[in-house]
């Protein structure tokens, strides 16, 4: 018994195009004119189109990122820039017990 070749539609991007996309993405989102240095599927799709001329759907962009490039979903930590850990610790140690005791 011989193995058959994989069936299904061939990928829209060949290996050299995928490497072009990888190099473009590693430059960061701001290098491509985006305000924040975060990648979204829409932004990656725009970069793919600029770099290769191939238009991909959001699902295809996801498959490209996770399957062929090996990237994973990363979410930024939602914390205020002004957060002061020492002030939070002081408040928990002094103010919180006063509030929970009541009158």
- Domain assignment present for 10: no
- Asked if the model's pLDDT at residue 102 lies above 70, the reply is no
**What's the sign of the alpha-carbon dihedral 61, 19, 69, 27?**
negative
pLDDT in tens, 8-67: 888 899 999 999 999 999 999 999 999 988 899 999 999 999 999 999 999 999 999 999
The pTM of this model reads 0.68
pLDDT in tens, 62-84: 999 999 999 998 887 788 888 89
Query: How many domains does the chain contain in total?
Result: 1
**Cβ-based neighbours of 12, under 8 Å, separated by 6 or more:** 54, 56, 60
Distance CA 28, CA 37 (A): 6
Distance CA 50, CA 34 (A): 14
- Domain assignment present for 6: no
Q: Which domain holds residue 51?
A: 15-73+83-98
- Asked if the model's pLDDT at residue 93 lies above 90, the reply is yes
């Amino acid at each position: 018994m011989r193995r058959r070749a994989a069936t299904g539609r061939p990928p829209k991007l060949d290996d050299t195009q995928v490497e072009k996309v990888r190099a473009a993405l590693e430059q960061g989102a701001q290098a491509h004119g985006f305000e924040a240095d975060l990648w979204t599927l829409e932004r990656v799709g725009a970069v793919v189109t600029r770099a290769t001329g191939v238009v991909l759907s959001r699902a295809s962009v996801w498959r490209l990122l996770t399957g062929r490039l090996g990237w994973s979903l990363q979410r930024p930590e939602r914390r205020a820039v002004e957060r002061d850990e020492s002030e939070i610790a002081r408040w928990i140690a002094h103010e919180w017990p006063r509030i929970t005791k009541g009158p």
